[in-house]
Structure 1
Amino acid sequence: MTDNAPNTSRSSGGGNAGLAFIVGGLLVVVAVIAWFVFAGGGLNPAKKEIDVDVNLPKVEAPKLPDAPSPQAN
């Protein structure tokens, strides 16, 4: 006769080891990206001193012609 009892000699959960490595790797990648975004990645850019001096010539409105003198009738 055949025995219908389940086979208990196999260990369960072995197929999820690959998935655990993938999820762990993704977590590490996300943590590294977050560190670069929020902490600047430990890179301290050199501070630049910007000194701009703008000298423009004085602009004046053009001289208008004199108004015509009123003529007496």
Structure 2
Amino acid sequence: MAENTNGSGGNAGLAFIVGGLLVVVAVLAWFMFGRSGAADDTRDINVDVDLPEVSAPAVPGSN
């Protein structure tokens, strides 16, 4: 039987997967931590919610 004397054939797939995972982690870290240079959001948001008064219907026989 022929043996693989190179020693790197079995780990090529694993190295590709680990490299891909590192790229994904780096992109996620950039989106989460590296976007601090965005413009400041200084909008004044003032929400006033006025709901009409709702009364329960009269119960028959409670007079």
Given the two structures, how large is their TM-score scaled by the length of structure 1?
A: 0.45
Structure 1: any 5+ residue segments left out of the alignment? 1-6, 53-73
Map Cα deviations across residues 23-72 of structure 1 (whole Å, 9 max, x no partner): 00000000000000101287x467342165xxxxxxxxxxxxxxxxxxxx
Q: 1:35 aligns with which of 30, 35, 39?
A: 30
**RMSD, aligned α-carbons:** 2.9
As a proportion of its length, which structure holds more helix? 1
1:50 corresponding residue in structure 2: 44
Q: 1:11 aligns with which of 6, 10, 20?
A: 6
Cα 1:41–1:23, aligned 2, differ >3 Å: closer, same or farther? Answer: farther
For 2:24 and 2:8, the matched residues in 1 are separated by 25
Higher relative contact order (CA 8 A, sep 6+): 1
Given the two structures, how large is their TM-score scaled by the length of structure 2?
A: 0.51
Aligned residues: 45
Q: What's the % identity of the aligned pairs?
A: 53
User: Runs of 4+ in structure 1 displaced over 4 angstroms?
Assistant: none
CA radius of gyration, larger in: 1
Deviation for aligned residue 1:8: 6.6
